[in-house]
Structure 1
Amino acid sequence: MGRLHSRQVAKDDTIRTQPSNARWRAERQASAIQTFRATGDHDPAEQLANAVVMDVSVGGFGLGAPRELPIGTPVQMRMHLPGSIDFLTAAGRVVRSVPINGTASSKDALRFRAGVQFEKISEQLAEQLVGVLRSLGSQPTALSPPSPQAGESEYEAITRRAHLLEWSQFFRGVDFAQRLQLAQVTEERSYAKDETIIRQGDPGDGFYIIIEGSVNVIGSVASRSQAGVFTETIFATLPAGQAVGEMALIDGGQRAASVVARVPTTCLFVPRDAFINTLRSSPGTTLSIMALLVERMRHADDRLSEVLQITEALTSELDLQKVYDTTVKVVQETTQAGRVTLQVLDEERSQLALVAGMPFPPGAEAGQRSPSNAGLGGWVLREKRALILTGTSHPDPEIDRLMHDIPGMTAVCVPMLLKGEPLGVLNASSVPPGTVGRNGEALPVGKALTQDEMTFLSVLAGQVAIAIEHARLYQKTNEQATTDGLTGLLNHRTFQEYLASEVDRAQRAGTELALLFVDVDSFKVINDSYGHPAGDQLLRVLTSEVLKPSLRQYDVVGRYGGDEFAVILPNTPSKEAFIVADRLRQAAKSCDYGQHELPPETGDIISFSVGLAHFPPDADDSEALLQVADRGVYFAKFLGKNQVQRGRAAAPTADDDATSLHAFLANAGRDELEAMAAAIDARDTFTAGHSRRVAEYVRWLAQALGHDKAFLDRLRLTALFHDVGKSAVPDGVLRKAGKLTEEEYERIKAHPVIGAEMLDQVPHLHEAIPAVRSHHERWDGSGYPDGLAGKDIPYTARLLAVADAYDAMTSDRLYRGALLFQDIKRIFRSGAGISWEPHLVDVWCDVLDDRSVDGATPSAKDS
């Protein structure tokens, strides 16, 4: 610590003072600096703490290899004092077996000195040490600047005060500068807010040395009224939270300031007068007392080292359960307790959950909960302080009432506090061999727990609380990055990563895998009718009451989109996957939504459309598998919703050969054709659902014209496939946001011809060919691909042309929004005889007027 002060002064050797007798002040200040440097750099206490053992001898012979020295062995030691040419020689007897060799580091020297009761030391060092101790007798009182002695400047008095810091450093053997955490620093000669707590001028006051925890203030004066009377004993403890006062050097030693802080944890208190009187009366016993203190410090150092090692292990662990398990394991190993348990508070802070135990109490298991205000744990949490039980009774009536009547049991119950708030409870207990519980069960035997264990666990509990919070924050951050905030399921990105991993695993193991896409039918109705909060609640309920209960433990479910879920079924054959998918569908319809703050009619509105894909037959990688399952959803919705449909491989495109294209269509049944039409329709994101809407509009028109159901059915299938030729148009052209080039436009214009050629291979769709080829012809002959005019245009193509144009007018486009109803009718009227057959335009405008409500544009449901 002396080195710290000397560095501070060296920053500015000129100390500024008030302009009064400047020369005298300068001389005195220079003298103070010299004295300060001298005591800082060559303080015997600091030298002794950092001394290097040069040799150790027994019976006049030096030691060679490391060896254990029997208790009582006379020994001599010679040490080199750093910063000095002096050597210290000391003689004593071993009081604790300590291995040492002839030459050792300062750490080994400290261990050796801790195990030796010295009987005499060199006269030179004894005189120096006693001189330092005597200087403590005139130390300044708390919260006031030191009073200079005769011929001594204020700075010299401050320097003398700093001896306390060096003295503390000897006992601790570490740089206390790193441990100073000043709670409050005030200006020179001013008092802190807590001045009424600190009593000044009490001759029985002394200085304290921290055993565990970080140091708030070193060499402080503690109030007798607050800390208790310590003049009767050499060693006592200051309780955590004790208020203390201290003088400190600030601004490079240029001024003094009052500091008020509180002891962070239990610490050793050394009464000044009792200690100094002992040293004055028996100078030869100086190192005997020091050795006892160092032994206390060495034990604290060992425990602190254990805490640091445990803390490092805990804070490097990010798995919350492993933090719990590691905690109870290391506590049991270090304390040798028979049983160690860990309980943490739940989010509501009303329950304590048992999260780890070695071993668990009889009949208890992980996750078991108990009221947070009950039992010894409740007392510890409420009082926010540790509790040690060493018998069958306790002075505190409440604790005594809570204790188990088990003879010989010792127990420690420690609160885990984080920023002053309880996080949980750490418990340790032991019984002697042969002890049984109240029900006759054998209890785990362990070492009797003492105040040392309580102190150790109190310090450790704070580190455990930090580690738990660290792991919780990591877990929360990780969950936020990988899960959906609304449902708690895997988010889109993470689900895709899981799927890729599972497909890769199935590929390597030669196993099967199924993928389900689940779309919530009519979800938009819930949102529009009851508001978005109801929609959010519906997604939560579907997750907790439908999806999770219907799936197996090893299935993986994620929220893939707004109202879409996805499920991975590992090692699952196709038939079994279909059963799981249908179970989901049925659960969605049978759920009692009214019990979960949703409208009772929710079950009548919503359902599941499920698409199923299977690896390896449907796809050879995760991306293709997603596409197949997605296509299955379109099939299910197109065919009426509330059903499970298996997706099919993608319809052939311009990149595939004509043979595969025709083979697919020629072998498709009617249901598959309709499903395929839905998939083709979905390729264009700007016109998704277009073919289904055209099918609905052309049905309106045909009904108004008086056609029968058979005609309507055939017309519907024709409408669904009127744009089938677009499957041969590249996606880059079909989905292009900007203006098409002339070449691109020609490719688009070719789709009616391509579509007609494709349908020529499909028996079910032969009747649709004329309409598919000619639905872009115009009444005046200016259309394509053949330039037909008037009634040369096939009748079904004329019907489709009206419906197709209406859907284009009522849909949003990148370059414009949907047209107004009155504008739509005006366009149709002006286009009669040019684009469309006049009679059909008249009928269609009447249909629109009949279906319009309050002047709104009639629209087919697009769901």
Structure 2
Amino acid sequence: MAEKNDDPLLYREFRYSVEYKSMWESEKHELEKMGLHCCVALKDDNQLVGILLLCDHTGKRQLGYSDLQILSSITSVASIAVKNARMYEQACLEARTDELTGLLNRKYFYEILNQEFEKNIDGSLVLAIFNVDDFKLYNQLYGMKEGDYCLKRIAGIIRGSVGEQGYVARYSGKEFAVLLPGYDVLSARTLMESIQKQIYEMNSHEQNFKLKAITVSVGISAAPYAAKSVKELLNNVDMAVYHVKQSGKNGLRVFDTAFQQNLELEDTRKHVHIYKEYESTIYALTAAIDAKDHYTFSHSNNVAYYAVELARYLGMNEDVVEIIRQSGLLHDVGKIGIRETILNKEGALTSEEYEIIKGHVEASIDIIRHLPSLDYVIPAVIGHHERYDGKGYPRRIAGEDIPATARILCIADSFDAMTSKRCYKRAFSVEKAKRILQEEAGKQFDPAMVEAFVKCLEEGRIKLVNGEFSGESGNV
């Protein structure tokens, strides 16, 4: 009743209006009971967002002109307050929501994950990741617009299936995360299989033209049964997705203690076969490195050997060890694009030349990212020049925010660089290299991993590789 203008509407005048006469008697009675004197509309950009009512149950006081002026001022302040509150609420919503799908974004999902992990410490918490298979190909076939539409439909299927039972987020460009507090693994698996089936069938209902079926690789992990921390839960679910990808995509894996134990023999048998699928690609890239710079080729082989031995000593499973081996072989592939005069310069590098050398990390990623079968080595490769104290490059991340595979690679890379002869320096002794590693523990290197690496050297588990790559455990 106060929408037509911004002035206060007196109740005694309103009683003679058509709007009042059209009200139910029960509504009129409620207004009388309140002792309503007048009402004023609260507006935001000419939209009604609230009503301010002024009541007096005694009925003794009459509103004068000055009262109405004060009421108008109060209304203006209240309207601004409501507008600011709505803007703040909208800003909060946008800060935690993915723009394309309307789901939670990754940052806010991490907050929810940490909160729910603490709340369900004595219960159960299931995390699932949906990774869309061959999505780059889908974009190439049908275009980015159709790709975005596909992601929105997938988001709708997952959100509709999960409902109020859990949280759904867009975890990365082509990944979705589902968090289910209080769920057991069996119930979660049943729900994820249903979602997976709906996603596979969604394009079969298109009437206008035929689109390829969408498949997803799904990983599931549960806390506290298979994970004692949020970080472990995330790592486990990522490894479950990795297993699905390695076994042909379009599948679902549950990572738990039994899963890990049952797969140990299977992983041992399969990992050589899996590696051979990509061996020709890796060989071609390493051969290209060798043609450009023989030192870089030998260095990459050496780094792969040192990193693999350290990873095994740390108890990592054979899948992770294989990822580390391939990361070691490919971590410097970006140096293909750097001039030999810089790579083999005998004197100190200029600041400009050093920036060019630093660019090999992004150059390596630019090469690897076009090889979908090898994209799982990217976290190790992109992080092998990060420092534990956060002063490395290219992202300046620190501590355990640096992937474990990258922290291992950093130690192996540095040790080989120190113990190898180059045109601009002599090789350090093993003792001096060990001393530098220990001095830089907690600064450049992960201190626990340095301790493990030094122990491996002292016990003879890792042997110094001189010049060309050798060593049975490091053969490719």
C-alpha change, 1:450 and 1:577, in structure 2 (3 Å) is farther
How far residue 626 of structure 1 moved from its aligned partner, in angstroms, is 0.6
Q: Which residue of 1 is the match for residue 161 of structure 2?
A: 550
228, 239, 254: which one aligns with 1:646: 254
How far residue 418 of structure 1 moved from its aligned partner, in angstroms, is 4.4
1:323-357, Cα deviation, whole Å (9 max, x unpaired): xxxxxxxxxxxxxxxxxxxxxxxxxxxxxxxxxxx
How far residue 454 of structure 1 moved from its aligned partner, in angstroms, is 6.2
User: Do structure 1's residue 609 and structure 2's residue 223 form an aligned pair?
Assistant: no
Instruction: Find the aligned partners of 1:424 and 1:751 in 2 and give their Cα distance.
Output: 63
C-alpha change, 1:470 and 1:600, in structure 2 (3 Å) is farther
C-alpha change, 1:472 and 1:569, in structure 2 (3 Å) is same
SS across alignment from 1:589: helix
Equivalences for 1:244-283 in 2 at 5 Å? none
Q: Which residue of 2 is the match for residue 381 of structure 1?
A: 3
User: Do structure 1's residue 536 and structure 2's residue 135 form an aligned pair?
Assistant: no
C-alpha change, 1:861 and 1:425, in structure 2 (3 Å) is closer
C-alpha change, 1:608 and 1:455, in structure 2 (3 Å) is farther
Instruction: Find the aligned partners of 1:748 and 1:586 in 2 and give their Cα distance.
Output: 40
Q: Which residue of 2 is the match for residue 489 of structure 1?
A: 103
C-alpha change, 1:568 and 1:692, in structure 2 (3 Å) is farther
Q: Which amino acid aligns with 2:237?
A: A
C-alpha change, 1:529 and 1:569, in structure 2 (3 Å) is same
Residue ranges of structure 2 left out of the alignment (5+ in a row)? 284-294, 312-317, 338-369, 376-476
User: Do structure 1's residue 668 and structure 2's residue 265 form an aligned pair?
Assistant: yes
325, 330, 333: which one aligns with 1:813: 333
SS across alignment from 2:336: coil
Q: Which amino acid aligns with 2:185?
A: S
Q: Which residue of 2 is the match for residue 584 of structure 1?
A: 195
The answer on whether the counterparts of 1:517 and 1:567 sit within 8 Å (CA) in structure 2 is: yes
Instruction: Find the aligned partners of 1:392 and 1:483 in 2 and give their Cα distance.
Output: 44
How far residue 541 of structure 1 moved from its aligned partner, in angstroms, is 2.2
SS across alignment from 1:560: strand
Instruction: Find the aligned partners of 1:414 and 1:427 in 2 and give their Cα distance.
Output: 5
Instruction: Find the aligned partners of 1:504 and 1:812 in 2 and give their Cα distance.
Output: 41
C-alpha change, 1:753 and 1:382, in structure 2 (3 Å) is closer
Q: Which protein has the bigger strand share?
A: 1
87, 90, 97: which one aligns with 1:476: 90
Q: Which protein has the bigger helix share?
A: 2
Q: Which amino acid aligns with 2:221?
A: A
74, 80, 90: which one aligns with 1:466: 80
Instruction: Find the aligned partners of 1:615 and 1:599 in 2 and give their Cα distance.
Output: 45
User: Do structure 1's residue 417 and structure 2's residue 14 form an aligned pair?
Assistant: no
Q: Which residue of 2 is the match for residue 624 of structure 1?
A: 232
1:424-455, Cα deviation, whole Å (9 max, x unpaired): 24064879xxxxxxxxxxxxx99699646866
How far residue 499 of structure 1 moved from its aligned partner, in angstroms, is 1.6
C-alpha change, 1:392 and 1:414, in structure 2 (3 Å) is closer
Q: Which residue of 2 is the match for residue 527 of structure 1?
A: 139
Q: How many residues align?
A: 311
TM value normalised by structure 2: 0.53
Q: Which residue of 2 is the match for residue 318 of structure 1?
A: none
C-alpha change, 1:390 and 1:623, in structure 2 (3 Å) is same
Identical columns (%): 21
C-alpha change, 1:449 and 1:455, in structure 2 (3 Å) is farther
Instruction: Find the aligned partners of 1:482 and 1:677 in 2 and give their Cα distance.
Output: 43
Larger CA deviation: 559-568 vs 487-496 = 487-496
Q: Name the Cα RMSD after superposition.
A: 4.8
The answer on whether the counterparts of 1:522 and 1:605 sit within 8 Å (CA) in structure 2 is: no
Equivalences for 1:17-36 in 2 at 5 Å? none
1:41-87, Cα deviation, whole Å (9 max, x unpaired): xxxxxxxxxxxxxxxxxxxxxxxxxxxxxxxxxxxxxxxxxxxxxxx
1:831-861, Cα deviation, whole Å (9 max, x unpaired): xxxxxxxxxxxxxxxxxxxxxxxxxxxx997
SS across alignment from 2:102: coil
How far residue 622 of structure 1 moved from its aligned partner, in angstroms, is 0.7
The answer on whether the counterparts of 2:204 and 2:213 sit within 8 Å (CA) in structure 1 is: no
How far residue 549 of structure 1 moved from its aligned partner, in angstroms, is 1.0
SS across alignment from 1:640: coil
User: Do structure 1's residue 575 and structure 2's residue 200 form an aligned pair?
Assistant: no
